[in-house]
Structure 1
Amino acid sequence: PVTCANASTYLKSPWPIDPGSYTYTQSCAAASYCLCAQMETGGGGNSSDNICTWTSGGGYYCVANQQ
């Protein structure tokens, strides 16, 4: 699988640190990326799943390229 090892080089801030036990889901290609973390509360995020399906109040918080 493709990982986003170089993404932190280009993001404006470091990787978030989460005290919970959830892991990040990542998907990167040459021209795009999507990084998601599951919300511990089950809601309040900006995506309904871990592949950047944008919605308000979703169970995941994601960042993706803006291109």
Structure 2
Amino acid sequence: MDEMDKENTKINDENNDSSEENEEDNYLVVGMFLGMCLGMTVGNLLFKNIGIGMSIGMCLGLAIGSSIKQKK
């Protein structure tokens, strides 16, 4: 690397607007996982269709998981 590339890399690293710093921690993935599992079970028992139950469970898990904030 020449001097100009090193300087450009340094500037880009400083100006990197990472979204990780602005994100709040929540239980989104855990809610989706549990929603899918419970939705598949309920969908199989009530609707006799796993796909419908999984879709409903995933949406509910996503909504509930994203509303609960994690403690840091």
Same fold (TM over 0.5): no
The structure where helix makes up a greater share of residues is: 2
More RCO (CA 8 Å, sep 6+) = 2
TM-score of the pair, normalised by structure 2: 0.21
The structure where strand makes up a greater share of residues is: 1
